[in-house]
Amino acid sequence: MESIDFDGLLLDLDGCVYTGRTAVPGAAEALTGLAEAGIPVVFLTNNASRSADEVAEHISSFGVDARPDQVLTSAIVAARELALTLSAGSPVLVVGSDALADQVEAEGMRVVDTASDDPAAVVQGFSPDLGWLQIADACRAVRSGARWWATNLDRTFPTEHGELPGNGAFVRVIADTTGATPIVTGKPSQTMMDAGVRALGADRPLMVGDRLETDIAGARAAGFPSGLVLTGVHREADALAAPLEHRPDYLLDDLTALLPGGSPRRLP
């Protein structure tokens, strides 16, 4: 039996640690075991709907010690990237959650509500409260020349009720309406993977996630190993049928496969 050689873990959340509000079986045990073994963990999530504080609190509710500074969301990374590109105080139309708007403000930009405020940029992330008016405003702003950023392109995410529409589904609406293409900051982008590796500070990082075209593709492109955990969106058959650039190094039945004595399966 082969164990995985890693000294730090980048771990996706939806479908790996929780599904909706429900903990994924084995996740709490695995996180506790990794903490006891002194392996640092950074949670790397494309879900931009909640703040790092809220996410850490959710994970902690499963009896696991999780700090906000271990949580890197695509909202945090998107706001940092906007700040590198736009001048301070630039008006930004946020099509997404309060958590995303708070990040954009924290990075020194001015959040505006409508296309009539002449935004320099539109940033779009998942929010369960998103409606037609906000999408329409984003279309107007993008057509007027605002730069368009998307936190991620995940078409779905797993919930207790099966897969439901993710940010990518709504990004497609704006793309179809305007003909524009967004800049994407979440996984599999190099920006997000670099931010994760920096936060982790490990020499031999391992990325584990449940989605091939984001979690696994991001690790592949960044040049470190990855494991597909079979508790979320993608199954073993998906991994075996995936193109090389989406192919994980390991399959994990659940996260306890990462613990000493666990049984990750190496893919050929």
Is 14 a known active-site residue? Answer: yes
Q: 3-state SS of 156-168?
A: EEEECCEEEECHH
Site for Mg ion in 229-258 (CB under 5 A): none
Is-contact 225 8, C-beta < 8 A?
Answer: no
Minimum gap (Å) between residue 169 Cβ and Mg ion: 15
Site string for Mg ion, 46-85 (x = CB under 5 A): ----------------------------------------
The response to whether 14 counts as a known ligand-binding position is yes
| Cα 207 to Cα 215: distance, rounded to the nearest angstrom | 7
Number of Cβ within a 10 Å radius of residue 209? 31
How many chain residues are in contact with Mg ion, going by CB under 5 A? 5
The one catalytic residue among 12, 137, 154, 249 = 12
Least distance to Mg ion from the beta carbon of 22, Å?
14
Write down the least CB distance from residue 182 to Mg ion, Å: 20
User: What is the closest distance, in whole angstroms, from the C-beta atom of residue 218 to Mg ion in the complex?
Assistant: 12
- Answer yes or no: is 238 a known binding residue: no
If the CB atoms of residues 82 and 230 are measured against Mg ion, the closer one turns out to be 230
Shortest Cβ 180–Mg ion spacing (Å)? 26
User: Which residues lie closer than 8 Å to 205 by C-beta, 6 or more apart?
Assistant: 6, 7, 8, 9, 10, 196, 197, 224
Element (H, E) at 89: none
For residue 95, what is the enclosing H or E element?
A: strand 91-95
Catalytic residue from among 5, 14, 154, 238 = 14
Matching residue, tokens 């990750």: 264
Question: Could you say which residues in the range 198-227 bind Mg ion, by CB under 5 A?
Answer: 210-211
- Does 137 help bind Mg ion (rule: CB under 5 A)? no
Cβ nearer to Mg ion, comparing 14 with 249: 14
Buried b (16+ CB within 10 A) or exposed e, 226-256: bbbbbbbbbeeeebeebeeebbbbbbbebbb
Q: Which is nearer to Mg ion, 46 or 90 (CB)?
A: 46
Tell me the per-residue interface mask from 3 to 22 with Mg ion, x by CB under 5 A, - otherwise: ---------x-xx-------
187 annotated ligand binder: yes
Return the amino acid letter for 9: L
Give a three-class secondary structure readout of 16-35: CCEECCEECCCHHHHHHHHH
Alpha helices in the chain (DSSP H): 27-36, 52-60, 74-85, 98-106, 132-143, 167-178, 190-200, 217-222, 236-241
User: Of the two residues 142 and 242, which places its CB atom closer to Mg ion in the complex?
Assistant: 242
Conformational region of residue 254, where left means phi above 0, alpha means psi within -120 to 50, and beta covers everything else: beta
By C-beta, is 11 or 197 nearer to Mg ion? 11
Confirm or deny that 12 is annotated as ligand binding: yes
Would you list which residues are annotated within the binding site? 12, 14, 187, 210
Would you list which residues are annotated within the binding site for Mg(2+)? 12, 14, 210
Would you list which residues are annotated within the binding site for substrate? 187
Which residues here bind Mg ion, judged by CB under 5 A?
Answer: 12, 14-15, 210-211
Which residues are marked as active site?
Answer: 12, 14
